[in-house]
Structure 1
Amino acid sequence: MDYAILTGFVLVTGVVLALVAQWRGWRPSLLVVLAVGIGFRVLIMTTSAIDDWQPVDFMKSFKPAGEAILNREDPVLGSAGGWHFLPTIPYVYGLLLWLGIPWEVGGRLVTVVADIALIPLVGKLAGGRTASLRAFQYACNPLAILVASVHGQVEPVALVFGVAAFVVARGPGRPDRPGITTDVVGLVRRRVSDLGVGGALRHAVGPGGVAHRALTPRPGDRVPLRRALFAGLLMGLALCAKSWPIWLIPGMLLLLPTVRARAVAFVATGIAPIFFLVTLPVFAGTSLSQIPEVIRVIQDIRPIVGEWGYSAILVGGDWTLHPGIATFGTRLIYVTMVAVALLWRRADPVDLTTALLLAFMVVTPRLGAQYLLWFMPFLIARPTRFAWPAIIGVSLWAGYGYLYMTQFDTDTWWALHSVWARCSIVLLPILALAMPWSRLTYKAPAGPVERIPRTPVPAPASV
């Protein structure tokens, strides 16, 4: 990388500004917040676009996907599996290439615009008196700048739709909300004790039972159902960018007020992915006979390990195809996600989501540096005691990979990578500590309810 010193200076400046803002209690205006965020991102995007070094996947996977769209080819098959997601973002890549924008700029423009849009959304997600502070801190976030402006990875696109879904699902009012408030296990035990197993089942799913009453229309349902529809559509667009936003769905659903609204949002989440899949023959030139192969490639996850955490220790810090470690890690992820969901089921849904994403980072056997952006909007919006040690730690680790290791030839890079990957084990306890352990259960704020000023909001969020 030719501009590593300049980029490093910008990233350190961002961290200092974010910490000073926390210390001084800054509440900058949205105009100032956006000016800072846009300035940082556009500057680094510009230097990255003219740099001699370009990320391998950015050039060898993302660009061919956009070129495939221009050539009326399927982006998954046309990129030889380099792009193994739905074609939504390649459509945008293809449009920018068709407009004649150089790839080094156009490919990053997608992620930079998305990351800029995330800045006010993080403020909305935080809500209350600290909204502008949290938006400013995300504007200064070093990892976000690296991922969006240097790497051109599509995490910001998934996040902008995912965070927007949270904001829409929550709607107006107090920014903190309870999670599951019903003691489901205790309720089932009481019903079985009182009615027997058969009676309890009829009470739950029979005519006029709990499920029927929960899904029956009620007066005043229209507003939350419209919120649920918009939130589900937004979450579906997040899934069109990448598959990992599936971990955001539980938090989004819990922010909605009724079972019926949650059912609507859940169904709506599938609309956009299904649309972009079935319209491949129309917009991407995919033949009907190719669709099963496209689905197979999208579903296929190669067992690459050795970049992060315990898998890097096990294989010596080198990328390796190791089905045994990958399978163990995948099962560990599922068990961990269930355990975390149960532990934080009564917490604010944003805290639940933060816990899920941080736990994923701790137990996953495979990880690219861009994955570490997943939890950033949520952790910044509702920071924990160890939030900034975690943010600074992962930013230093990623920055070493992006800025320092790219200065060397291939052999030296691989030698440095071996040490770098194994050093990531140090970050795991910090990420675990950054989980919202003090907020396992939602606690209503003490004192009078904060009155949030009435301000104009975008149409989806106001319904």
Structure 2
Amino acid sequence: MDYAILTGFVLVTGVVLAIVAQWRGWRPSLVVVLAVGILFRLVIMTTSAIDTWQPVDFMQSFKPAGEAILNHQDPVLGSKGGWHFLPTIPYVYGLLLWLGIPWEVGGRLVTVVADIALIPLVGKLAGGPKASLRAFQYACNPLAMLVAAVHGQVEPVALVFGVAAFVIARGPGNPDRPGIVVDVFALARERVSALGVGGAVRSALGPGGAVRTALAPGGVVRGALTPRPGDKASIRRALLAGLLMGLALCAKSWPIWLIPGMLLLLPTFRSRVVAFVATGVPPVFFLVTLPVFAGTSLDQIPEVIRIMGDVRPIVGEWSYSAIMVGGDWTLDAGIATFGTRLIYCTLLVVAFLWRRADPIDLTTALLLAFMVTTPRLGAQYLLWFMPFLIARPTRFAWPAVIGVSLWAGYGYLYMTQFDTDTWWALHSVWARASIVLLPILALAMPWKRRVSKAPVTVPETLPRAPVPASASA
């Protein structure tokens, strides 16, 4: 990288401003916040565009996808699998190429514009008197600048739709919201304690039991799906939030981890069903319209779906997998499978522990837990949790932000100064050093906010089936 010193100066300036803003309690106006964020990103994007070093995937995967659209070809097949997501972003790439904008600028323009749009959204996500401070701190976020303006990775595009979905789903009012307000596990323990395991099962499944009562006319399930007076506003919010989350999934597949938090921000079961269904609409639309807009033939669609669903077991750049393979990229199905199972088990535990937390805190905990347990990670993945952690920071939020920014910055700015052999030698040390970040990321989780203190405005209760006389005897 030719402009590493200038880029590093901008990034350090951003960190200093963000910390000073926290210390001094700055509340800058939206105009000032956007001006700072735009200035930082335009400087880095300009120097990155004219740099002799360009990211490999940016040139060899993303650009061919845009060129494929320009030539009315499928972006997945046209990039030889380099692009393995839906064609939503390649459509924009193709348009910018058609307008004659050089790829080094146009490819980054997509992500930089999305990252700038994220700045006020982070403020909206934070809410309350510190909203402008949080927006300013995201405007100064060094990792966001690296990912959007240097690498041109599409994480900001997925995040701008995902965070917008959260803001819309939450709606007006108190920014603090409760999580799951019905402790189903406590109810289950209570019934098992009163009736025993067998009695509780018979009570739930037998004639007149809780399950049949819930499903019967007038039961809790049908009652939850029945329209209520004043329900139109929440349904409109649910529909829009779901469509936005669907667009986030059109950019990449990982925003699936954002869906639980979005659904919990909606006030009723019916609105959550609407949002869940709406989330699937944009991905299905962009998939079925491939023959129309991308020139994909019908017999190619199964192959496109197969490539999009194929996750190569590349490990060795992050965490324990880097230690196990010596810090080099490796295809290792055993480590990848173990890591995938570890992720699922860990996220289930985290979802249980934070089930009563504010949905934003739940989302932060899930994303940070993913980073701690995943065996495969690119530096851009570390942006996933940034808007949520910046909006609702924890005690170790800024150590985590600075730590991952230093790690990513070393890869983007320093390692790119050398030839291929030297780069690989540095990569081996850099990848294994990531293990140091794991405890910091774990500490940054919102441990003290596992139960939201927000008032419950919409009580959600489950009917308690009567205890049969025979079971209590």
TM-score (normalizing by structure 2): 0.93
Q: Distance in 1 between matches of 2:60 and 2:218?
A: 58
Q: CA deviation at 1:204?
A: 2.0
Match of 1:197 among 181, 193, 205: 205
1: CA distance, partners of 2:314 / 2:357 = 34
- The answer to whether the aligner puts 1:238 opposite 2:248 as a matched pair is yes
2:282 is matched with: 272
The C-alpha deviation readout for 1:84-142, integer Å capped at 9, x for no partner, is: 00000000000000000000000000000000000000000000000000000000000
What is the 5 A alignment of 1:228-307? 228-307=238-317
Which residue identity lines up with residue 93 of structure 1 in the other structure? Y
Answering whether residue 60 of structure 2 is matched by residue 60 of structure 1, we say yes
Closer/same/farther in 2, CA of residues 444 and 207 from structure 1, 3 Å limit:
closer
1:291-334 deviation per Cα after TM superposition (whole angstroms, max 9, x unaligned): 11000000000000000000000000000000000000001111
Structure 2 CA distance, aligned partners of 1:85 and 1:178?
34
The offset of 1:200, in angstroms, is 1.6
Q: Is the 8 A contact 1:188 1:200 kept in 2?
A: no
Does residue 12 (structure 1) correspond to residue 22 (structure 2)? The answer is no
Question: For the residues of structure 2 that align with 1:34 and 1:151, how far apart are their CA atoms?
Answer: 21
Counterpart residue identity of residue 63, structure 2: K
Partner residue, 2:321? 311
**Equivalent of 1:324, from 328, 331, 334?**
334
State the SS of the aligned residue for 2:6: helix
Q: Distance in 2 between matches of 1:55 and 1:10?
A: 20
Q: Cα offset for 1:197? A: 2.6
Deviations along 1:231-259, one digit per CA (max 9) or x if unpaired, are: 00000000000000000000000000000
Distance 2:165 2:300 in 1: 32
- TM-aligned CA deviation for residue 208 of structure 1: 2.1
Aligned to 1:227: 237
CA RMSD of aligned residues (A): 1.1
Letter in 2 for 1:105: V
Give the AA of the match of 2:96. Answer: L
The residue number in structure 1 matching 2:389 is: 379
Alignment of 1:144-223 (within 5 A): 144-188=144-188, 193=195, 195-198=203-206, 199-223=209-233
CA contact (8 A) 1:45 1:105 kept: yes
In the alignment, which residue of structure 2 is the partner of 1:428?
438
Alpha-carbon deviations, 1:158-185, whole Å to 9, x = none?
0000000000000000001000000112
Structure 1 residues 211 and 17 mapped into 2: Cα distance closer, same or farther (>3 Å)? same
C-alpha displacement of 1:190:
5.6
Matches within 5 A, 1:361-372: 361-372=371-382
SS in 1 for 2:239: helix
Cα distance in structure 2, aligned partners of 1:183 and 1:26: 40
% identical equivalent positions:
85
Give the Cα–Cα distance (whole angstroms) in 2 for the partners of residues 7 and 15 of structure 1.
13
1:397 lines up with 2:407 in the alignment: yes
Q: Which deviations, in whole Å up to 9, do the C-alpha atoms of 1:405-443 show, x marking residues without a partner?
A: 000000000000000000000000000000000001001
SS of structure 1 residue aligned to 2:311: coil
- Please name the residue that 1:449 is paired with: none
- Is 365-374 or 204-213 further displaced after alignment? 204-213
**Structure with larger Rg:** 2
| Pair 1:24-2:16 in alignment | no
| Corresponding position of 1:451 | none
Number of aligned pairs? Answer: 445
1:196–1:32 distance in 2 versus 1, CA, 3 Å:
closer
Shift of 1:379: 0.1
CA shift, 1:186, in A, is 3.1
Residue by residue, what CA displacement relative to the aligned partner does 1:22-53 show, whole Å, maximum 9, x if unpaired? 00000000000000000000010000000000
Provide the C-alpha distance between the structure 1 equivalents of 2:187 and 2:204, rounded to a whole number of angstroms.
13
Who is 2:464 aligned against?
Answer: none
**Aligned residue type for 1:391:** V
Aligned residue number for residue 448 of structure 2:
438
Return the alpha-carbon distance in structure 2 between the equivalents of residues 52 and 206 of structure 1: 68
Residue 388 (structure 1) aligned with residue 387 (structure 2): no
Give, in angstroms, the shift of residue 189 of structure 1.
5.5
What is the SS of the residue equivalent to 1:335? helix
- Segments of 5+ residues of structure 1 without an aligned counterpart are 446-463
* Cα distance in structure 2, aligned partners of 1:44 and 1:444: 41
Counterparts of 2:171 and 2:218, CA distance in 1: 30
Q: Which residue of 2 aligns with 1:88?
A: 88
> Which of the numbers 350, 367, 379 marks the counterpart of 1:340?
350
How much has 1:188 moved relative to structure 2?
4.4
Structure 1 residue 187 displacement after superposition: 3.1
Match of 1:43 in 2: 43
Letter of the structure 1 residue corresponding to residue 12 of structure 2:
V
Paired with 2:204 and 2:290, the residues of 1 have a C-alpha distance of: 51
* Shift of residue 285, structure 1, vs aligned partner: 0.2
Aligned to 1:461: none
For 1:177 and 1:217, the matched residues in 2 are separated by 23
Partner of 2:467: none
Letter in 2 for 1:436: P
**Partners of 1:127 and 1:73 in 2: CA distance:** 44
Whole-angstrom distance in 1 between the partners of 2:102 and 2:78: 20
Give me the whole-angstrom Cα distance separating, in 1, the residues matched to 2:163 and 2:204: 43
Deviation at 1:206, TM superposition (A): 2.4
Q: For residue 444 of structure 2, what is the amino acid of its counterpart?
A: A
- 8 Å contact from structure 1 (residues 354, 375) kept in 2: yes
Q: Secondary structure at the match of 1:169?
A: helix
